[in-house]
Structure 1
Amino acid sequence: MSLAGRLISAGFTDLEKSTRFLEAPELAGIDAELLFAALGHAASPDLALQSYVRLLAVEPAVADLFTREPDRATALFRLLGASEALGEFLMRHPGHLEAVRPPARAEPAVAPEQLRASLLAAVDADPAVENPVAGKTGTGAHQCLRAAYRRHLTELAVRDLSHPSPVDYLPTAARELADLAAAALEASLAVARADLAGSYPADDIAAVRLAVIGMGKCGARELNYISDVDVIYVIDAPSLDEALASRIGTALATGISRGVYSPGPEPALWEVDANLRPEGRDGPLVRTLESHLTYYSRWASTWEFQALLKARAVAGDPELGRRYEEAVAPLVWTSSEREGFVESVRAMRRRVTENIPRHEGPKQLKLGSGGLRDVEFTVQLLQLVHGRADESLRVRDTVTAITALSAAGYIGRADAADLDNAYRYLRLLEHRIQLTQLRRTHLMPDGDAARHALARSTEGALVSVRPTARSMVEKWQRTRRLVERLHETIFYRPLLNTAANLSLEDAKLTPEAAQARLAALGYSDPKGAMRHIEALTGGIRRRAVLQRQLLPILLAWFADGVDPDAGLLGFRRLSESLGESHWYLGMLRDSKAAAERLCNVLSSSRFITDLLEVSPESTKWLGSDPELVPDTFESQWQEIRSKMSRHPQPQDAMRLIRLIRRRELLRIAIADSAGLLTQAAVGNALADADRAAVLGALHVAENTIHTSEPRITDVVVIAMGRQGGREITYGSDADVLYVHRPLPGADSAAAQRQAEKVVAQLAANLTQPSKPPVLAERVLEIDAALRPEGRQGPMVRSLDSFREYYKRWSLIWEAQALLRARPMAGSDALAADFLELIDPIRYPSSLLETDEREIRRIKARMEAERLPRGADPSRHLKLGRGALSDVEWLIQLLQLRHAARVPELRTASTLEAMDAVEAAGLLPAREVETLRRSWLLTSRLRAANVIWSGRSSDVLPSSRRDLEAVARWCGYGPGKGAELEEDYLRLTRRSRAIFERNFYGT
């Protein structure tokens, strides 16, 4: 292989320059095979080769490493290929080459005390003494400190770069970097004390106790290779004049910064940034503890408490540092109680994103969307909101906080794992980019060569197949998208605002606080409610942990409903039904809409609660509006056909058909409760569910009958009444007519018998109760009382029999009933022929006066005889004054009079017919509007009765509680039951007046 080919194979990118370095005299005598083998371990072989040649020039002894200590050679080339800055450090201080050694297996991180002792020793300070004073002073001491710091940094970098899994090692490396920075601050403070000896009396200097509080990543022990070290300075000198103590403290703080950052032969380490102190740049550099606390209690902004989450004493007087930590901790963990706290944190995150220079946005690892800040802000917000009640969250570093949030259930396990992995990977990229030049940057490099080196350096030391720059960038972009999604989901979680507004006692849900709160919220049985709470929150299982978080919020939302006790009981039953389902409580935690909807239906609807209890998996729909869109008839029928094909046994097929109908009833009711459906859409959706069930039941019946006898007739089911108008409500019966037509050549008597068997089997299929029985689920009752001759006539007739009957004996009430006839199930051809037969009957060319008188007579008789004994006519929703019957009979009378000449009146829908009446000018628009409003409200009230109690009722409730419940369902606010009652009575009085004037002519 040519040299160029070998260089390309080894990962070199600048072939011309690297060829010149390979020809350098310093490499004479070095085995090329050993050299290339060592270069194969380097992230950037180009950089490793150049740095190695330059190192040979100042320390020729490293040439022997290949044969004398090959493992050290490997470690050296890993370091030189990843960090030009540390390579230059070794060139400046070849005596520190001994720091480059292969790490022992499972070698522990260097202890903080060991780092502190080493850097203090570098400036001749005694580590055993509290607040030590350096023996060295000035620039010489600074250079010794920096060299010792970089030696330790070199040792750490070698261990980091040699680790099989640098992502796993990252928290260890970050902790050691923070401990190393703390040791450097301690040593620099010792030098500052020594430097002040000529300016102030020794006793005065000793009297000023100074604590260095690490903030940000240093305080959290998750520091980068190169980063500003954020600090706050606290002083205490009760024996000195305040002004003198402040001057000495300021001089010490300034000396710390000078020791690590001032220009000198050994480059600066990093900048010491004290801008997080009270009042920022405008405030004094040092303050007493009391001054700090006064500021935080009076003037501090929300972001300052978020910053204090990371505060940790890292250097200086340990006792003063401990006092500072203990004093500010309560301020941090109660900061979420401040008004607008959550939104303030969110606004701050948005400002950070908005201030990124446009050209940097796509390259930002830290500040941009999907970057490190998204993870950190997300985690910190959850900590601050929930940490006041949950002490397990009171940790500083992000990785540990993610673990704690997951263990306590505030983040789902999968999301926590994704967040942790993403954070570690982004931090690793940041570390490797900074390690190259030991320069503070958070931008993805532009050049292919730099990205190629970055890709190689982020994989483990044992990886055989090196990643490419392209694969690394693709992984980074996937990670950004993942973080962006998790940030949007968790950081903007709606429940955070609610949780932040709870009092500490409520958030902790202690028994004493819970009992008092339950009574205050309006629970009628606080002791019973406490038993439910204890059952839900007892134990250490994850479900109990999550429910302890959710219940303080849910209890208030249950109380917003009509029956909070029933809501809590329903929640307990539902939770027990769902068991350890991972999605259920996570959905309630992450979706305010789902949680509020569940609380609303459980405390306001026996109908929905009962259905949810037997179909708990349907709770998933609460968090997704698309899931609450009712299935179309076509979709339901396709599913039913599929079920019947796989389950040919009639009982099995009908069980599945009933389950599909029950599922759709529940879906429609939940969507209705969430305000996602109009009243007309509810009626249409319920009618579709019934139609699909009847069609399925008809097919099952026909298949059952035709297994023992050949098919000799077609059967069709015609919907009548409100079912025909697609205006049914929950629990409505299905008024129908049955029509059949013998097949050609079939005996008419035999066809009649077969049709009777089919419709009998159809009714039996539909009325078989569900197992287990569900209180709220009424079976679909089939009512054929509107057939010719009523209950005295045959259940099913042939088309010819209908034709003969309507020709000879049809009564006007039957023509009126046919106004709402609509095919429901069965032969399409037979249905079309039946409609053709009845159209002249229900849309007559003229309406005789005798027929009008008969209609009025029947209506008056209904009012006199069918209204239940003792019922208040003003409160009966169906037969009462101005209610459903009045409106429908008036509209139907107008249809019978005018449908022959006004085609728009030829509709089975009452609402559509009212629109046509108004458009044709048959009634004044204001009267039609009154009738429409009365009909809609009355229909809504009938639905509300079923939803609230699980039972049908045609009476406007008198009980205040029941009235309140139906008022809520009808869109009235809390406490508006009396207002609904007044509106209903007033509206139906006006409706009755219109009815009497236009129906009876009075």
Structure 2
Amino acid sequence: MTTGDRSGGLTGLARLGFSGLQAADAALTELESTLGASRGVLLTGAARAADPDAALDALLRIARRRSEPLRAVLADARARAAAWAILGASHGFADFYLRHPEELADLTTAGSALPSAQTLNAELLDAVGAVDGFATDGSEDAWDALRVRYRRLLARIAAFDLLSEDPVEVLPAVSARLADAAAAALEASLCVARTRISGGAPGAKFPRDQVAATRLAIIGMGKTGARELNYVSDVDVIFVGGADDRTLADVGESRIIDIATKLASHTMRGISGVEREPPLWEVDANLRPEGKQGALVRTLESHLSYYDRWARSWEFQALLKARPIAGDADLGHRYVAAVQPKVWTSGARENFVDSVQRMRERVTEHIPAADVPFQIKLGPGGIRDIEFTVQLLQLVHGLSDDRIRQRGTLEALDALVAEGYIGRADAGAFARDYRMLRVLEHRMQLSALRRTHLMPSRPEEQRVLARASGLAESGEAVWALWESIKREVREIHVRLFYRPLLSAVAALPEEERTLSATQAHDRLAAIGFTDPAGALRHIGALTSGLSRTATIQRHLMPVMIRWFADGVDPDYGLLAFRRISERLGDTPWFLRMLRDSSGAAESLTRVLSSSRFIGELMEWIPESVAWLDSEEQLRPRSGVALQEEARAIQTRHHTVDEAMKSVRALRRRELLRTAMATVLGILSLEELAEALTTITEVTIQATLRAVRREVVPPEDEALDFSVIAMGRFGGAELGFGSDADVLYVYRPNGVDEQRAHELALQLVAALRRHSEDHRVPLDLDADLRPEGRNGPVVRSIEAYTEYYRRWSLSWEAQALLRARGVAGSVKLIGEFMKLADEVRYPADAGIQALREIKRIKARVENERLPQGVDRRRHLKLGPGGLSDVEWLVQITQLAHAHAVPALRTTSTLGALAGAVQAGLIPDVAASRLAEAWRLASRLRSANTLLSGQTSDVLPTDRRRLDGIGRLLEYPPRSATAVDEDWLGASRRARRVFEKLFYG
């Protein structure tokens, strides 16, 4: 060959995937000489080899030992393609053909189709000369013959797999044939075992007729039972022994079990023992009762007795895939039929879900740290994550649904999707990822024909894996694929495997797993529904029909009914859920989120059965259910974010009515978000007050901008107008049901005085009109203005200045203590607050003024409490209520804020802390006042949330009291505790108030 020809030849070899070009060239030259075949013919098929260098090396070693079988194989196009594919993917097979070159001849039949289960069984029985369950030869030679024939058949399966255009697509069929081959190998080995231990064989212990009469069923477990086996897996089995009644009577059960045990141990040895031909795989019987410490073989009755009395949850999970694979078929089928009911009721065992979850975590924890990034089977995001997820879903929901009781992982996924237990997208990703992971695992095991689950770490090995699997173009790409699959699998696994719905379904009493019409009425009444007939109508409306929505609702409903029953008002909660479900209709994310979320379904039942305020708003804003999927979505949005949205609304809409419709929707939405977060315990009292205050401020600011655009013409644009927050609004202490106390102020700024006043009045009227919301009222209350209801609703800054300096009363100075500008002209707000400071922080409040405040307080207590109300239960005006604490704090501010800067705050608790710091109120007294104020504020909001109506009176109805308590995180049936806590806290606060206020 010339240098140019040689160079061109080397380039061609590189294109075919060879890396050692000089060595490959020399090897091909030798093969040409040895086999008398042209290089062109020899290289046909080389491109299909994952590692062409290794394949060529194997061909050369075989040719040097015995060339004739190889010459015949390479002369046949199909056999040649199979040889390159198998030898390029597996040096384990290279070693096999080096030991047995004659086996290469079988490759002429390989590659086009998988061998059938019948062919596998017939071939392996033929290898040991089986007749009537006995082998013609009971020596080690029979086992060697079995192992050689098994590998011949394994090569046929591998050739079909490696030469397929889509190895991911054929993966299930390949795995099923591998399981069939394992079953056939055990059957053949059992035939040899019968011969070895029966009369006539060297060292035999038992008469042939007794051996023939002994029944031994081999039950395949795990991947073998599910027909999803790997090339080289441990084959998990359980042995069941027995005989017919006559034999048992004649021979005795003990001897029969001895024979069966000997058969089982010899069967295992024939597959896994050390002989001339290497073992096929490990036969693992450790899933039997009591594991390694238990008897290798038991009778069916002994197995069932153990499962009834001693078995742990993981043993039933293992039995999920049990299938008779060899030996006595009738006994095997009786065993599986007997254990299946136990498998499908195991999910109801105490802490079943938790035990399965902990077992998966322990498997992960025991992986050596260095192996974790490479563990394709056991590691996070690996095959086990998919299998455990699918099995847990099956075992829990299979309690009442036999349609998902499948052995195979992929078949189970299809069933879970069909019955609505898992979403199509998640199931599709799981199925795709599972197949690809298994293809990678298969190629790794083919390499050495050894059990391994570790992704290769060396770049060259990764390159070969990429070519062998056909899933990637390079080693880097196959590693990137593995990483992406791992992330996706782990994310789905964590979301589904730790789904709270699983624990809830497993914990349901048997009578509640299905809602039969005949028993449901009484059951609903028993668990807390006051109108079980109505509840049944709602359940029927949600679950009837054949749609996927109805299917998922049927799965959700038993658990959600129990969660509703645990709530304050289950009847209303279920009604609201029905209305929301109907509003959302077939919205794809809704039921999927309830089924798959980490806690959305339970949270939804909690908020709906706890709060009519929430339920009524959610009917109008059903998409708010999505917030329950993430605590972050329930956190109040910042004032800046709300302002930006409100300004964007006004940019989009050209009329006040259109803009205000959207602003009202914004306010409702954010009130709902805050209410849901409050009921779910996400917000503290301070965070709640801040959120409600921000929402109110943004609403007023947006409304003022909108109405100003309509009311104030361009020629009067110089008019300044502002809104001043007062009362709890000014103190940023709003609760649910609080009014928004305000003052209105304007400055003509060059506009005619009369015209400016008229425009200000129009702005106030428009603010009131457009802020009205029949669903969630916003009352802009201006009663704290100078002269109260008798005074002008709006004044100029000059009029306020003149009034406060000449005529203001002590209560008006007191009202200004919580004044705070919230909307309109910033400059005007600054002027008003400067004026307010002069009035509310006087150098000398005056004894007479303070006495007047005390007199007014006493009059308020006597005159403003509603008729017929127990004054102790009035959270605002009653003894020890909000008014007591606030008036005491405010009189302290009036008297001392001029000298004590810490008292110059609109916050009640902030001023109380300042008074403690200044030594004006003792620590203990302040603590009692703060306790009562906080509790009253929380009770007031909870009362509004529960009923959807505003009230300052703590109800006497014990069911409502209990509901309020539940919102405040008291345990169920705590009406008495709520009552006693309020009466005690208010009594202690009243004593402090009377001592410090009137003293």
Mark yes or no: TM-score above 0.5. yes
Aligned position for 2:993: 995
Query: Could you tell me which residue of structure 2 aligns to residue 97 of structure 1?
Result: 105
- Gapped regions of structure 1 (runs ≥ 5): 461-465
In structure 2, list runs of 5 or more residues that go unmatched. Answer: 1-6
1:171-215 residue CA offsets vs partner (Å, 9 max, x unmatched):
110011001111111122222223324233332122111111111
| In 2, Cα distance between equivalents of 1:533 and 1:950 | 25
**Aligned equivalent of 1:925:** 923
Equivalence map 1:513-592=2 (5 Å): 513-592=519-598
In structure 2, the residue matched to 1:807 is 805
Q: How far 1:24 moved relative to its partner? A: 1.0
SS at match of 1:365: coil
The percentage of counterpart residues that share the same residue type is 48
Matched, 1:345 2:356: yes
Displacement of 1:364 in angstroms is 1.7
Q: Name the aligned partner's letter for residue 798 of structure 1.
A: S
Q: 1:114 to 1:70 in 2, by over 3 A?
A: closer
Distance 1:221 1:65, change over 3 A: closer
Within 2, Cα distance between the matches of 1:247 and 1:929?
A: 80
SS in 2 for 1:40: helix
Describe the shift of the 1:25–1:787 C-alpha distance in structure 2 as closer, same or farther (beyond 3 A): closer
Q: Kindly tell me: are residues 856 and 44 of structure 1, through their superposed partners in 2, closer, same or farther at Cα, counting changes over 3 Å?
A: same
Question: How far 1:707 sits from its partner (Å)?
Answer: 5.1
User: Counterpart amino acid of 2:938?
Assistant: R
Aligned counterpart, 1:78: 85
User: Does residue 846 of structure 2 align to residue 848 of structure 1?
Assistant: yes
Deviation, structure 1 residue 94:
2.8
CA 1:833–1:900: 2 relative to 1, 3 Å:
same
User: Would the aligned equivalents of 1:309 and 1:332 in 2 still touch at CA under 8 Å?
Assistant: yes
Q: Which moved more, 1:687-696 or 1:344-353?
A: 344-353
Amino acid at match of 1:666: L
TM-score by length of 1: 0.94
Q: Output aligned runs, 1:527-676, within 5 Å.
A: 527-676=533-682
Distance in structure 2 (CA, Å) of the matches to 1:324 and 1:638: 69
Letter in 1 for 2:501: L
Is the Cα–Cα contact under 8 Å of residues 580 and 619 in structure 2 kept in the other structure? yes
1:731 aligned onto 2:737: yes
8 Å contact 2:69–2:104 — kept in the other structure?
A: no
**Partner residue in 1 for 2:817:** 819
Question: What is aligned with 1:766?
Answer: 771
Shift of 1:61: 6.6
How big is the shift at 1:3? Answer: 4.5
Q: Is the 8 A contact 1:26 1:56 kept in 2?
A: no
> 1:912-954 CA deviation, whole Å, 9 max, x = no partner?
1111222222222222222212222222221112101111111
CA 1:816–1:18: 2 relative to 1, 3 Å: same
Question: Separation in 2 of the partners of 1:258 and 1:792?
Answer: 104
Deviations 1:763-819 (A, max 9, x none): 2211154xxxx4xx22x1212222223333332211111112222222222111111
Matches within 5 A, 1:183-582: 183-195=184-196, 196-198=198-200, 199=204, 200-237=206-243, 238=245, 239=247, 240-459=251-470, 467-582=473-588
1:881 offset after TM fit, Å? 2.4
Q: Name the residue aligned to 1:964.
A: 962
Map of 1:112 onto structure 2:
117
Is the Cα contact below 8 Å between 1:26 and 1:53 reproduced in 2? Answer: no
* Matching residue of 2:728: 722
Deviation sequence 1:278-307 (CA, Å, 0-9, x none):
222232222111111122222223222221
Matched to 1:670, the amino acid is: M
Which segment is superposed worse, 187-196 or 672-681? 187-196
Confirm or deny: 8 A CA contact 1:101 1:158 kept in the other structure.
no
Deviates more, 1:712-721 or 1:378-387: 378-387
Letter in 2 for 1:524: T
Kindly indicate whether the alpha-carbon contact (under 8 Å) linking 2:321 and 2:407 is maintained by their aligned counterparts in 1: yes
Bigger CA drift: 206-215 or 916-925?
A: 916-925
Secondary structure of 2:492's aligned partner:
helix
**Whole-Å separation in 1 of the counterparts to 2:369 and 2:913:** 57
Contact 2:242–2:257 (CA under 8 A) maintained in structure 1:
no
Do residues 147 (structure 1) and 152 (structure 2) align? no
Residues in 2 aligned to 1:868 and 1:271: alpha-carbon distance in whole angstroms: 85
How far 1:528 moved relative to its partner? 1.7
The structural deviation recorded for 1:72 is: 4.3
> Take 2:556 and 2:973, find their aligned partners in 1: how far apart are those partners?
26
Matched with 1:712 is: 718
**Distance in 2 separating the partners of 1:372 and 1:663:** 43
User: In structure 2, the residue corresponding to 1:24 is in which secondary structure?
Assistant: helix
Distance of 1:993 and 1:357 partners within structure 2: 66
1:758 Cα deviation (Å)? Answer: 2.1
Q: Which amino acid aligns with 2:821?
A: P
Question: Aligned letter for 1:15?
Answer: L
How far off its partner does 1:71 sit? Answer: 4.5
Partner of residue 686, structure 2: 680
Instruction: Tell which deviates more after alignment, 665-674 or 294-303.
Output: 294-303
RMSD: 2.2
CA distance in structure 2 between the partners assigned to 1:479 and 1:937 by the alignment: 52
Contact 1:4/1:15, CA 8 A, preserved across alignment: yes
| In structure 2, distance between residues paired with 1:631 and 1:566 | 29
- Which letter maps to 2:50? A
Please tell me whether the aligned partners of residues 222 and 322 of structure 2 are also in contact (alpha carbons under 8 angstroms).
yes
Residue 23 of structure 1: SS of its match in structure 2? Answer: helix
User: Whole-Å Cα distance in 2 between the matches of residues 111 and 548 of structure 1?
Assistant: 41
CA contact (8 A) 2:573 2:610 kept: yes
CA distance in structure 1 between the aligned counterparts of 2:557 and 2:174, rounded to whole angstroms = 40
Q: Which amino acid aligns with 1:838?
A: A
Please report how far the alpha carbon of residue 450 of structure 1 lies from its aligned counterpart in structure 2 after TM superposition: 2.0
CA apart distance, 1:117? 2.5
Q: How does 1:893-932 map to 2 (within 5 A)?
A: 893-932=891-930
CA distance in 1, matches of 2:646, 2:865: 40
The match for 1:869 among 849, 867, 880 is: 867
Q: What SS does structure 2 have at the residue aligned with 1:763?
A: helix
2:4: which partner in 1?
none
SS in 2 for 1:716: strand
TM-score by length of 2: 0.94
Q: Describe the SS at the equivalent of 2:795.
A: strand
- 1:260 and 1:268 in contact (8 A); partners too: yes
**Which one-letter code corresponds to 1:194 in the other structure?**
T
Question: What letter matches 2:123 in structure 1?
Answer: S
AA paired with 1:202?
A: R
Tell me the distance in 2 between the aligned counterparts of 1:903 and 1:708: 43
Opposite residue 119 of structure 1, the aligned amino acid is: L
**C-alpha displacement at 1:762, in angstroms?**
1.8
Contact 1:506-1:513 within 8 A present in 2 as well: no
Residues 957 and 592 of structure 1: CA distance in aligned 2, closer, same or farther (over 3 Å): farther
Alignment partners' CA distance in 1, 2:72 and 2:344: 58
Count residues with an aligned counterpart: 980
CA distance in 2, matches of 1:648, 1:806: 40
Task: Describe the superposition over 1:303-351 as per-residue Cα deviations: whole angstroms up to 9, x where unpaired.
Answer: 2222111211001111100100011112222222333322322232233
Distance 2:238 2:848 in 1: 99
Query: Contact conserved, 2:31 with 2:63, CA < 8 A, in 1?
Result: no
Q: Which amino acid aligns with 1:40?
A: A
Please say which of residues 352-361 and 896-905 is displaced more in the overlay: 352-361
Distance 1:100 1:493, change over 3 A: farther
Counterpart position of 1:938: 936
Q: Corresponding residue for 1:463?
A: none
